[in-house]
Amino acid sequence: MKDRPTLAQIKRSWPATVNASEAARAIGCSKSHLNALIKQGQAPVQTVPGLGSRNRVITASLIRLLEGPDAHDQKGDDDAA
């Protein structure tokens, strides 16, 4: 089994979309589990629609998931009113 990629590796060298197997490895779940979540519309990542039975995951959505919910909240304390 391949090692789980780091966030830095994903940001630096992954293409715009990856297959479900690579995305699952990055998330830390099985490919079958991720595919089931995609089929149910419950996946924590965005996929490319219309590719038949092949699921492609949008790498930017994978990065957002791995960074966590606070990573893109850049508001400072001065913005709160």
Q: In 10 A of CB 65, how many CB atoms?
A: 18
Residues (pLDDT < 70) of the chain are: 1, 71-81
Q: What is the pTM of this model?
A: 0.80
Give the model's pLDDT for residue 69: 81
The domain spans of the chain are: 17-68
Coarse DSSP helix, strand, coil percentages of the chain, rounded to the nearest 5 percent: 45, 10, 45
